[in-house]
Structure 1
């Protein structure tokens, strides 16, 4: 059986699975706060989410994580992320795989809080901790 493709990490996860106006507002706020252009996000995603992201994009990941309670004081909150994902109907039957990925990434550290958020995001992508559209 062909495995489900996991290609989109935290940067856009909830936008695709919830598509609610609150999350879109968070995305807009973070783009403004970090001076990240929508075109930069699209380029990053279409480029396969390579790890050579700008500092703005790394801080965008941090901003989203903080606003969702998934990062506090530079520390990734794995339990908070799992609780959020567990409440998304599309994720319920994939929680074992998601939990494994989140646990593999929970202790990632970067050179600063933005880098930590980005490293966690890339780790989740690598470990298939977050499911994206296929």
Structure 2
């Protein structure tokens, strides 16, 4: 149950929404379960208590799973700004501007790392709005 609550908050931070729909929630729960992410790992990531090298690979890969299954990132690691905008424009107009470009241009050694860097950046944008 705690993981469900944390993932709702995390999904909202990444997607910058009030409440995620059931599809987003199911994807988040499935990805967390598949990657073995604990309540503490996700809470610490979402709260900004761990960053970069301190984040375990399973948390990074959970963000890849979440972004790809929602259609925000393809399997090659290309962020789909059009999909992001179309799904979130009514919920997050402030995020849908040139600031998102700095997030989606992040480069990394692997797709899990790239997804994590994008997610971390989007969370920071949300916190700074």
What is the SS of the residue equivalent to 1:63?
A: helix
Tell me the CA shift for residue 28 of structure 1.
Answer: 0.9
Shift of 1:37: 1.5
Give the unaligned 5+ runs of structure 2. 1-8
The 2-side partners of 1:59 and 1:26 are apart by 13
Assess if the C-alpha contact under 8 Å between 1:62 and 1:114 holds in 2: yes
Q: State the shift of 1:67 in Å.
A: 0.9
Offset of residue 111 of structure 1: 0.8
Cα distance, 1:15 vs structure 2:
8.2
Greater relative contact order (Cα 8 A, min sep 6): structure 1 or 2? 1
Please report the TM-score for the alignment, with normalisation by the length of structure 1: 0.72
**1:121 aligns to 2:119 (yes or no):** yes
Matches of 1:36 and 1:116, distance apart in 2: 18
List alignment gaps of at least 5 residues for structure 1: 1-9
| Distance across 2 between alignment mates of 1:79 and 1:28 | 24
Question: Post-superposition, which runs of at least 4 consecutive aligned residues in structure 1 deviate over 6 A?
Answer: none
CA displacement, residues 28-80 of structure 1 (integer Å, 9 cap, x when unaligned): 10011111122210122234452331100100110110111001022111221
Q: Which protein has the bigger helix share? A: 2
Q: 1:111 aligns with which of 109, 112, 119?
A: 109
Q: How many residues align?
A: 116
CA–CA distance in structure 2, aligned partners of residues 64 and 109 of structure 1: 18
- C-alpha distance in 2 between matches for 1:57 and 1:44: 8
Tell me, in whole angstroms, the C-alpha distance in 2 between the residues paired with 1:47 and 1:106.
19
Change (3 A) 1:38 1:115: same
Q: Which residue of 2 aligns with 1:3?
A: none
